[in-house]
Structure 1
Amino acid sequence: MALVIAVSSCATGGEDNWNSTAVGDDKSIGALDLRSVLLVTGDEGAAARILGTFENNTDQPIDLTISDDDEETRLTVPGQGSIALDTRETLLRTSGDAPGARTTLVATTADGSVDLLVPVVDGTLDPYRPYLPD
């Protein structure tokens, strides 16, 4: 009788390093893809930077509003283009929740709206430290 043992292992390469950081929420509104949306803040109630990438799959620009309980910010995503918020600072005056929590943001376009349940992170993880609001 033969005994077969299957062993599963994980490499320690980039995939694991990526998974060790907080990955944001992904949703779509019509032809607009919202990828890896999250908030970076120093503390509950402090200013928060929105991170993520918004990809427009149409030829026309799409107006996008991102809001929480007490404020909103507006962006226009160019036709067949994208906006990466790691290079475009987009802030909310307050984070709403403390680092380690998840909070709800609402993304709205002319095609409708979606709730994003986004992680709230701080500078504890090195990849997010440069994005802490002043």
Structure 2
Amino acid sequence: MTSRNRSRLGAVVVGVALAVGLGGCSFVTAPPVPFDDREAVAVGTNMDVGEIKIRSLLLVTTGEGQPGRFLGSIFNPTDAAVEVTIADDDDSVTVTVPARDVLGFDEEETVIDSVAEIPGSYTPVTVTAEGVEVEDRIPVVDGSLDWYQPYVPGGS
């Protein structure tokens, strides 16, 4: 084999390797996530209350005993609107989540009168929907991180 043929063969081998290597990228692209399989990517707590899915639930407040605003989302995969109640030791709020929809607390301002714990801790809550009740603890944060400042009740 001549030097010229070896160079051509080398170029062909490199070209084929690049085509196969780069062409494989299309095989690793993730498909869209189905509605029922969405998971939280934030700091808050996740809960499944029957068929209703609570994702990234947390409270933003200025301090213990102060008003607190919920952040997170409620996914309703059912064919009917659902009332969801979130309660702590002394307050509760009820929201309605339309059928096959998502309620985002970043857009739906939902505030309780007082948060029992200081920012940086967890506070117990009970979430009720469709006759199912789930208890868990959710994080309490303040406006010290820039992305929470717009959600501090009464401003930061």
Which category of TM-score, normalised to the shorter sequence, fits these structures?
0.7 to 0.9
1:64 matches 2:84: yes
What's the secondary structure of 1:129's corresponding residue? helix
Aligned amino acid, residue 49 of structure 1: R
Match of 1:133?
A: 153
Moved over 3 A (4+): none
Q: In structure 1, how many angstroms separate the alpha carbons of the residues matched to 2:136 and 2:146?
A: 24
Matches within 5 A, 1:1-134: 23-134=43-154
Bigger Rg, which one: 2
Q: In structure 2, how many angstroms separate the alpha carbons of the residues matched to 1:25 and 1:86?
A: 15
Using structure 2 for the length normalisation, give the TM-score. Answer: 0.70
Higher strand proportion (structure 1 or 2): 1
Q: In structure 2, how many angstroms separate the alpha carbons of the residues matched to 1:93 and 1:111?
A: 25
How many residue pairs get aligned? The number is 114
What's the secondary structure of 2:69's corresponding residue? strand
Aligned amino acid, residue 129 of structure 1: Q
Percent of aligned pairs sharing the same letter: 39
Unmatched segments (≥5 aa) in structure 1? 1-18
Higher helix proportion (structure 1 or 2): 2
Superposition RMSD in Å = 1.2
Aligned amino acid, residue 133 of structure 1: P
Q: In structure 2, how many angstroms separate the alpha carbons of the residues matched to 1:52 and 1:66?
A: 12
Unmatched segments (≥5 aa) in structure 2? 1-40
Using structure 1 for the length normalisation, give the TM-score. Answer: 0.82
- The answer to which structure, 1 or 2, has the higher relative contact order (CA under 8 A, 6+ apart) is 1
8 A contact 1:38–1:120 mirrored in 2: yes
Task: Write out per-residue CA displacement over residues 19-67 of structure 1, whole angstroms, 9 at most, x where no aligned residue.
Answer: 8xx6000011111000000000001100000111000011111111100
